[in-house]
Amino acid sequence: MATLQLNLPSITWPRNRPVFRSILRPVQCAAERQELFNRIAPVYDKLNDLLSLGLHRVWKRMAVSWSGAKEGDTVLDVCCGSGDLAFLLSERVGVKGKVIALDFSREQLQVAKSRQRERLKECYKNIEWVEGNAVDLPFPSSSFDAATIGYGLRNIVDRGKCLMEMSRVLKPGSKVSVLDFNKNTHPLTTSIQEWLVDNVVVPVASGYDLATEYQYLKNSIREYLTGDELEKLALESGFSAAEHFEISFGLMGNLVATR
Ligand SMILES: C[S@@+](CC[C@H](N)C(=O)[O-])C[C@H]1O[C@@H](n2cnc3c(N)ncnc32)[C@H](O)[C@@H]1O
């Protein structure tokens, strides 16, 4: 209970709803995850580059392209973290478009805002950062032309609720693009993925005193959904079509779902 109370003040809930209205354990998990992302915020970008050898930039470009965002659109990036996908979306929709980027980690949003201040491209002024929860989006229904969520859905306790919310805020016919690690059905790829976490990710993260934080990654991939399960969940959450694509020999995956 003490943990819950400690975490309450750091969340902004624009809809003025009761924060902890459901059962205890999942919310405690969400609060723990929020703390985790606050802690890793200062080195998150550097570690992404190191651990993926820069490939995460390519995967993120693919995710944005799959979202179908185009010039002049109003688009949403959920679990924006330090803003990589939001910046890419901003380049796509241009100065006439608008990007809303949401996250519940205040520290991640601070990093995103300072990156926005440092970057000179005119279009980046079209990004608005919102502190909020992915399972209770503070936006009216049918307000966005496209949406992305990168490495976010895996970290969310109620993934169905998050997809339902994303479907609600998208205009009919619009798409969400969900990029994340791929939960493999091939034992060899799973072994490679887990070997990489144990022998590359955790040792590198321990150099930044974040070994425990990154050990969490292996279990979170194990507990995530396969491509088929993601497609099924999207259809159950209000999307009319869903297709999952494997990327980079099945190490990553991208779900594309149409409202
Ligand atoms: C692994 S980071 C990904 C950040 C960014 N999308 C990227 O690809 O670099 C996951 C982000 O999801 C956010 N997050 C997790 N659960 C959330 C929730 N329920 N509501 C809002 N943000 C959440 C975390 O704070 C964190 O910034």
**What pLDDT, in 10s, does the model give residues 141-154?**
999 999 999 999 99
Domain annotation covers residue 251: yes
CB of 239 closer than 6 A to ligand 1? no
- C-alpha 221/C-alpha 210 separation (Å) is 18
Which is more confident, 186 or 18?
186
Please check whether residue 183 is in contact with residue 225, taking contact to mean a CB–CB distance below 8 angstroms. yes
Q: Looking at residues 48-56, what average pLDDT do you find?
A: 89
- By CB atoms closer than 10 A (0-12, 13-18, 19+), residue 159 is buried
pLDDT of 28 above 60: no
Domain annotation covers residue 94: yes
The pLDDT of residue 20: 30
Residue 122: domain span = 41-185+218-258
The CATH number assigned to the domain holding 252 equals 3.40.50.150
- C-alpha 211/C-alpha 134 separation (Å) is 26
pTM: 0.87
The pLDDT of residue 18: 32
pLDDT of 4 above 70: no
The total number of structural domains in the chain stands at: 1
The pLDDT of residue 63: 98
> In the predicted model, what is the mean pLDDT of the chain?
87
Domain annotation covers residue 139: yes
How big is the chain, counted in residues?
259
pLDDT digits (tens, 9 = 90+) for 188-223: 888 998 999 999 989 988 888 888 878 888 889 999
Domain annotation covers residue 24: no
Domain annotation covers residue 87: yes
CB of 37 closer than 6 A to ligand 1? yes
Measured distance between the N- and C-terminal CA atoms of the chain, rounded to whole angstroms: 38
The pLDDT of residue 259: 98
pLDDT of 16 above 60: no
Domain annotation covers residue 66: yes
CB of 115 closer than 6 A to ligand 1? no
The neighbour count for residue 24, using CB atoms within 10 Å, is 10
Which is more confident, 234 or 26?
234
Q: To test ligand 1's pocket by mutation, which of 40, 76, 104 has the most ligand atoms within 8 angstroms of CB?
A: 104
Q: Whose CA is nearest to atom 16 of ligand 1?
A: 156
Q: Looking at residues 232-256, what average pLDDT do you find?
A: 96
CB of 156 closer than 6 A to ligand 1? yes
